[in-house]
Amino acid sequence: MLGLKLYMAQRLSAMVMIPLTLGHIAVMIYAIQGGLSAAEILGRTKGSVLWFLYYGLFVLSVSLHASIGLRVIVHETLGLKGRALEIFMWLSGLLLLAMGLRALVAVTL
């Protein structure tokens, strides 16, 4: 159920996310250690092009990566296939993308 193209998309997006997620965990550890409040965090992220690009890239990658991952799981455990499977993948990807973008806007704009 996974051809070369989807495989490439999933692996490339995973590679992109490696530094992003590791960075994110590091930031969170730092933030918690510093006892930052939400307002303080937002103060640093809002209006920052850098953070916008950082989390924007993450949202794009994760939508791609997770929707393909879910597609695999759903096919292998529930036996969904054909069009239904395509639709499922696209819907889950778009849902993640929409919700991710909404959060992105809230946090960085």
Partner 1 sequence: MIRPHRSHPLWIAYLLHRLSGLGLALFLPVHFHVLAFALNQPERLDGFLRFADNPLVKLAEFGLVFLLAVHVFGGLRLLALEFLPWSPRQKTLAASAVAAAFLVAGTFFLQAV
Partner 2 sequence: MQEMDVSVWRGDANGGGLEHFKVPARDSQTILDVVAWIQQHADPTLSYRYACRVGMCGSCAMMVNGVPRWTCRTHVKTVLKDNAITIAPLRNLPVIKDLAADMDPFFDKWVAAGGVHHPTRTRDEPIEILDPKTPERVETDTGIECINCSVCYAACDTVSNNVDFLGPAALQRAWTLYLDPKDADPNAILDAVSGKGGCHNCHSQGSCTLHCPNGLNPMKAIAGLKRATVSSFFKGGR
Report the sign of the C-alpha dihedral through residues 64, 69, 74, 80, in that order.
positive
The entry of partner 2, partner 1, ligand HEM, none that residue 9 binds, CB within 5 to 8 Å by partner kind: none
Check residue 35 and give left, alpha or beta (phi > 0: left; psi -120 to 50: alpha).
left
List the one residue from 49, 50, 77, 83 that touches partner 2 (CB under 8 A): 77
List the one residue from 75, 80, 92, 93 that touches partner 2 (CB under 8 A): 75
List the one residue from 18, 84, 95, 105 that touches ligand HEM (CB under 6 A): 18
How far is it, in rounded angstroms, from Cα 106 to Cα 86? 30
Task: Note the residues at the interface with ligand HEM (CB under 6 A).
Answer: 14, 17-18, 21, 62, 65-66, 69-70, 72-73
